[in-house]
Chain A
């Protein structure tokens, strides 16, 4: 179930009606004491129905801000400077408050990192789930409760009736995250956004949650936008992956292609670093240098200072260019470098 048996699906293969989310040339600016700085620059990707895309990068790479922009919940001081975000044809950039209220939960669902902080600590979780159903689908109390129980069972929660009446403090992190997922998919949205949803969980629980998300994709045809700093977790779940660095997408394409044959030196570095040591003590790879903080990114190729393959030409901004297997990459030398890939499991 969790093997990557899906064939790679670069966007161009799919018919236009299937296009669910289009992000085009998105730039997000942040107000700082030094002025407005671009934290996300020129990000574009497409997501079709039932597809999953993963946004991967370190802290500060812009993946979270991109995700928040799609959700319409940018933090104070941040705003969309340029670009388009369209969900099923609806323009999300200019959407008003009423519009957001309509599409939230019904078209768009979201789960975040710390489920406990998104739930009322004194109410039973089942009731909170039922409330969402009641409000968004205008059903009666009994119908909502029945649907809530159904959902809890669908999330593979053991003894749904018992869980229904528990308050958040009585449930484990994994169980709470499943409840959040239930809330997110309660009204059959088309797109689920998971923002570091598995980061704080134990490994075994993380695995269960990823498996659950996979199952939801298959059963409900749910599209997923998965944001994480863990490339492996993203690779488990997503058909497409977009690698973020310093606010830009440096590589984007089918997961199997990106992992087995990375086109960008940063992707290769991520693979090297995240790779499990063998039985012998591994070299414990690191990427030299540090991810630039906001406003510190150099002109030209932003990864250049840490890149082992840089040349003089890298002082100019590389455009997104085509690489083999439908992958797009932001690197001038991509074609001539032989970068080492990895396997997933």
Chain B
């Protein structure tokens, strides 16, 4: 990772002392293990994870809400993990990294007007006169495509899509360099989803903000991301440039994700494998500790996969992949098909 990276996440582990987690994952105490990725300035990165992948934990760890038990997180070269108290507060007031919450209904104070909500970060930071504050609020509303009249309303008076924009405006008004969006579009139908994704792309193009989009649906964010990292049970199993990943996924799980999405397509693009070719039947078993986390569900798993956790290696797609059989599994499928 070069020094020019905006965000560097380096081999972080997170163990959660499970107090209230009714854990369906059995013995695995790691919520995240050895997670590394980076975000360059102005890049849009997608982090794909299903339930139990640890994606929300990852977002919260980057923001300092959870402390990693190992590894480090650096922003603009400066270490931001493992700090607390006043230092953390002062870092947060700088506002360079912002979070867009998943649930716009619950992340906005229902008793405050939109203008107050948007300006909250500025108010906490302080030091702005009323005129400048008003100007910034107006600009933020403009950037997210909301009418100025929305400023006087309460969240309860807005539609879901508008609320989502307010959460984005609240983040953007701080002039951040990195935006982390936790499932920004999961609750929206296709048209509204694309609207928001377009907005994020416009923000990147106009302001140079880097964006991390966390999602469980790989295909829905395909049109907007530059790079993708695939998270499974707390590990990054594949990472690389979006177009390459879609064309030729190196990890069986990525392939399974792409194959599982029911898609109507007008382009010539279609994923050539069916989920049945990639799934292994009858599995709810937990992965063996020390082995590959995907092994129980993987059709191509061999003995080695159970015993040894695969390291991240460069993939043929130009990114990285953590799979012992990365170069072979496709071929074995074709062999089986030919028989």
| Stretch of A80-88, A125-133, A134-142, A198-206 contacting B (4+ beta carbons < 8 Å) | A198-206
- Contact pattern, B 211-223, Cβ under 8 Å of A = 1, otherwise 0: 0000011110011
- A229 lies within 8 A of B189 (CB): yes
A173 and B51 contact, Cβ closer than 8 Å, known pairs A277-B222, A279-B247: yes
- A158 lies within 8 A of B282 (CB): yes
Q: Is A219 an interface residue (CB 8 A)?
A: no
- A345 lies within 8 A of B198 (CB): no
Question: Which of chain A's residues has its CB closest to B268's CB?
Answer: A278
Instruction: Give the Cβ gap from B42 to chain A, nearest Cβ, in Å.
Output: 15
Which chain A positions have C-beta within 8 A of B265? 275-276, 342-345
Partner of B262, one of A1, A58, A232, A273: A232
- B194 lies within 8 A of A286 (CB): yes
| Stretch of A64-72, A164-172, A243-251 contacting B (4+ beta carbons < 8 Å) | A164-172
Q: Is B130 an interface residue (CB 8 A)?
A: no
With the chains together, A207 CA to B7 CA distance in Å? 34
Question: Which of chain A's residues has its CB closest to B271's CB?
Answer: A345
Partner of B260, one of A172, A206, A235: A206
Partner of A284, one of B51, B224, B247, B266: B224
- A59 lies within 8 A of B189 (CB): yes
- A170 lies within 8 A of B191 (CB): no
Question: Which of chain B's residues has its CB closest to A173's CB?
Answer: B51
Which chain B positions have C-beta within 8 A of A97? none
Which chain A positions have C-beta within 8 A of B219? 203, 276
Instruction: Give the Cβ gap from B222 to chain A, nearest Cβ, in Å.
Output: 5
- A171 lies within 8 A of B223 (CB): no
| Number of residue pairs A-B, CB distance < 8 angstroms | 143
| Stretch of B86-94, B136-144, B273-281 contacting A (4+ beta carbons < 8 Å) | B273-281
Partner of B267, one of A230, A274, A278: A278
- B51 lies within 8 A of A275 (CB): no
A residues contacting the other copy or chain, number (CB 8 A): 56
B residues contacting the other copy or chain, number (CB 8 A): 51
A202 and B262 contact, Cβ closer than 8 Å, known pairs A207-B275, A284-B197: no
Question: Which of chain B's residues has its CB closest to A233's CB?
Answer: B262
- B264 lies within 8 A of A271 (CB): yes
Which chain B positions have C-beta within 8 A of A229? 189
Question: Which of chain A's residues has its CB closest to B199's CB?
Answer: A284
Q: Is A149 an interface residue (CB 8 A)?
A: no
Partner of B198, one of A173, A275, A286: A286
- A236 lies within 8 A of B262 (CB): yes
Partner of A282, one of B159, B189, B222, B271: B222
Which chain B positions have C-beta within 8 A of A210? 262
Instruction: Give the Cβ gap from A281 to chain B, nearest Cβ, in Å.
Output: 6
Which chain B positions have C-beta within 8 A of A287? 191
Q: Is A2 an interface residue (CB 8 A)?
A: yes
- A275 lies within 8 A of B262 (CB): no
- Contact pattern, A 261-276, Cβ under 8 Å of B = 1, otherwise 0: 0000000011111111
Which chain B positions have C-beta within 8 A of A173? 51
A159 and B223 contact, Cβ closer than 8 Å, known pairs A204-B257, A235-B262: no
Q: Is B285 an interface residue (CB 8 A)?
A: yes
Partner of A286, one of B191, B256, B260, B284: B191
Which chain A positions have C-beta within 8 A of B259? 207
- B51 lies within 8 A of A286 (CB): no
Which chain B positions have C-beta within 8 A of A286? 191-192, 194-195, 198
- B274 lies within 8 A of A281 (CB): no
- A284 lies within 8 A of B50 (CB): no
Which chain B positions have C-beta within 8 A of A269? 191
Q: Is B206 an interface residue (CB 8 A)?
A: no
Which chain A positions have C-beta within 8 A of B264? 231-232, 235, 259, 271, 274-276, 342-344
Q: Is A340 an interface residue (CB 8 A)?
A: yes
- Contact pattern, A 209-245, Cβ under 8 Å of B = 1, otherwise 0: 0110000000000000000011111011000000000
Question: Which of chain A's residues has its CB closest to B192's CB?
Answer: A286
Q: Which of A203, A340, A345: most chain B Cβ within 10 A?
A: A203
- A204 lies within 8 A of B260 (CB): yes
A273 and B267 contact, Cβ closer than 8 Å, known pairs A172-B51, A235-B262, A281-B224: no
Q: Which of B194, B264, B268: most chain A Cβ within 10 A?
A: B264
With the chains together, A207 CA to B258 CA distance in Å? 11
Q: Is A156 an interface residue (CB 8 A)?
A: yes
With the chains together, A204 CA to B260 CA distance in Å? 5
Q: Is B149 an interface residue (CB 8 A)?
A: no
Which chain B positions have C-beta within 8 A of A170? 22, 24
With the chains together, A242 CA to B264 CA distance in Å? 17
CB<8 Å pairs between A and B, sample of 5: A206-B260, A274-B263, A281-B201, A284-B197, A342-B265
Seen from chain B, the residues whose Cβ lies within 8 Å of a Cβ on chain A are 22, 24, 50-52, 159, 161, 189-192, 194-195, 197-198, 201, 216-219, 222-224, 242-243, 246-247, 256-257, 259-271, 274-276, 279, 281-285
Seen from chain A, the residues whose Cβ lies within 8 Å of a Cβ on chain B are 1-2, 58-59, 156-159, 169-173, 175, 202-208, 210-211, 229-233, 235-236, 259, 269-287, 290, 340, 342-345
- Since A231-B264, A276-B222, A282-B222 are in contact, a sample of 20 more A-B pairs with Cβ atoms closer than 8 Å, ordered by chain A residue number, is A58-B191, A169-B22, A170-B22, A203-B50, A203-B257, A206-B262, A207-B275, A232-B262, A235-B264, A269-B191, A273-B190, A275-B266, A277-B223, A280-B243, A290-B159, A343-B270, A344-B265, A345-B262, A345-B263, A345-B265
